């Protein structure tokens, strides 16, 4: 947009003959997240952060932005539902005012929405879906990944969060470097996210010459894992790793391990980095265990500069400290909003191209980063936290130079 066009768009002649600001053109941003169930605590943080970003960018945007907070979960299960995710994606495609989608939260949901949005050339930026195959081929990916999510033969799926291809290996590095483990027992929930993190963790352990004394997949419909806990106790590992989430019974696994006196450290990925996991196990039980939780990225309490300012402002506004997902919610919104500012026109393809070609982005809260050729962020750190007295206490950041 040249200067003359911009001025004519920004000003109009009022009834009195004076120049007045012309109404801004309207655009929409949609988020697709599970807004019911145990993930609500995490998605509340993402939504709060998106709203904070909107307030921060409002004055510099050439558009009036409407934000639509959509729920992709089913009330009967409290988890994401394929039919809900599909409906949200299709609704976004059909609404010509929608310029970007933020989400989804779950990798399985991303497998539903990504090809729908890709066919329409509508960009999406996820703050939380971490399955490697969504963007890259690799040992944990299906043979047709990520091509099957790109039927339009272009990149539309981006993520501002680290992917599991880094979380699993860095978790193994921490186990070896800091916990000095020699043997591990790996559990997964047979779901996309859990399988991916567990496979990456196991593979890196094998590279590091750590003996994998067992690998089991659980049935998440079960309510008791004491039999598995007895088997693990007999194997006597130095660490138990569970690839899964709070919703896929991580808490019950932890309780049963403790009940069977499996006294080695227990490690879980960022699908358990929420108060719901602590509540599902119990503070006293977790204090008696050595429980470590990893999260892709840097703990908000350790952010500096713009990140520290964001954490302060978030706490002042919402009366609670932001978690890691809230940080990525802000970053996802910030990259979309800055793109709308710089593109300056209501054009999905122009917005898509600008988002996926983001380089040296510094308008958010994470510092300087870029999207690589596959839509992944170049920032891939991992925070390892220990649960103590019902709180996550960051103990180390991995993967930073």
Q: Examine the pLDDT at 7 and tell me if it is beyond 60.
A: no
**pLDDT bucket at 17, cuts 50 / 70 / 90:** low
Q: How far apart are CA 367 and CA 360, in angstroms?
A: 9
- Bridge partners of 185? 214, 240
What does the pLDDT read at residue 193? 85
- Other C-beta atoms lying within 10 Å of the C-beta of residue 62: 18
Q: Looking at per-residue confidence, does 140 or 121 come out higher?
A: 121
Domains and CATH numbers, the chain: 3-162+303-356 (3.40.50.2300), 165-296+382-398 (3.40.50.2300)
Query: What's the pLDDT score for residue 6?
Result: 42
Query: With 80 as the cut, is the pLDDT of residue 148 above it?
Result: yes
Instruction: Give the per-residue pLDDT at 24.
Output: 85
* Lowest model confidence (mean pLDDT) among 61-65, 109-113, 191-195, 373-377: 191-195
Determine if the pTM surpasses 0.85.
no
Q: What percent of the chain has pLDDT over 70?
A: 94
User: Span 137-148, mean pLDDT?
Assistant: 85
Using the predicted structure, report yes or no on whether residue 172 has a pLDDT greater than 70: yes
116-128 average pLDDT score: 98
What pLDDT sits at residue 363?
96
Q: Is the pLDDT of residue 348 over 70?
A: yes
Res 400: pLDDT = 74
Summarised one tens digit per residue, pLDDT across range 271-308 is: 898 889 999 999 999 999 999 999 888 888 888 999 99
User: Residue 97: which of 9, 27, 146, 199 has the closest Cα?
Assistant: 27
Average pLDDT (18-39) is: 85
Q: Minimum mean pLDDT among 28-32, 213-217, 296-300: which range?
A: 296-300
Q: What are phi and psi of 56, to 5 degrees?
A: -70, -35
**Burial profile 276-311: b = 16 or more Cβ within 10 angstroms, e = fewer:** bbbebbeeebbeebebbbbbbbbbbeebeebbeebb
Instruction: List the one residue out of 212, 189, 190, 188 whose CA is nearest residue 198.
Output: 188
Q: What percent of the chain has pLDDT over 90?
A: 79
**In this model, does residue 149 exceed pLDDT 50?**
yes
Provide mean pLDDT across the span 337-362.
98
Per the model's pLDDT, the better-predicted residue between 10 and 269 turns out to be 269
């Amino acid at each position: 947009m040249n200067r003359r066009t911009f001025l004519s768009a920004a000003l109009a002649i009022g009834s009195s003959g004076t120049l007045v600001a012309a109404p801004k053109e309207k655009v929409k941003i949609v988020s697709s997240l599970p807004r019911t169930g145990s993930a609500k605590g995490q998605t509340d943080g993402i939504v709060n952060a998106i709203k904070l970003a909107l307030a921060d960018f409002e004055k510099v945007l050439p558009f009036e932005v409407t934000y639509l907070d959509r729920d992709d979960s089913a009330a009967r299960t409290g988890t994401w539902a394929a039919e809900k995710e599909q409906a949200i994606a299709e609704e976004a495609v059909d609404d010509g005012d929608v310029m970007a989608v933020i989400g989804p939260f779950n990798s399985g949901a991303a497998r539903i929405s990504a090809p729908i949005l890709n066919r329409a050339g509508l960009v999406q930026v996820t703050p939380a879906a971490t399955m490697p195959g969504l963007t890259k081929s690799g040992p944990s990916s299906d043979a047709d990944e990520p091509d099957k999510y790109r039927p339009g033969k272009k990149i539309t799926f981006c993520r501002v969060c680290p992917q599991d291809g880094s979380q699993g290996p860095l978790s193994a590095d921490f186990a070896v470097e800091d916990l000095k483990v020699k043997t591990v027992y790996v559990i997964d929930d047979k779901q996309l996210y859990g399988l991916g993190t567990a496979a990456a963790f196991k593979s890196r352990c094998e590279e590091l010459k750590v003996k994998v004394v067992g690998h089991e997949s659980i049935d998440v419909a079960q309510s008791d894992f004491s039999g598995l806990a007895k088997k693990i106790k007999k194997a006597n590992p130095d660490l138990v790793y569970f690839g899964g989430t709070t919703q896929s019974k991580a808490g019950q696994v932890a309780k049963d391990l403790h009940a069977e006196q499996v006294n080695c450290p227990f490690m879980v990925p960022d699908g358990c980095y929420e108060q719901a996991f602590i509540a599902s196990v119990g503070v006293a039980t977790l204090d008696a265990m050595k429980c470590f939780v990893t999260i892709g990225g840097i703990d908000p309490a350790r952010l500096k500069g713009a990140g520290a300012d964001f954490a302060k402002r978030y706490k002042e506004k919402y009366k609670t400290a932001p978690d890691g997902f809230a940080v990525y919610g802000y970053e996802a919104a910030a990259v979309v909003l800055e793109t709308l500012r710089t593109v300056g026109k209501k054009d999905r393809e122009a917005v898509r191209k600008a988002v996926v070609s983001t380089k040296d982005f510094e308008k958010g809260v994470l510092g300087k980063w870029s999207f690589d050729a596959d839509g992944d962020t170049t920032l891939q750190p991992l925070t390892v936290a220990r649960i103590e007295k019902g709180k996550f206490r960051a103990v180390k950041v991995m993967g930073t130079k």
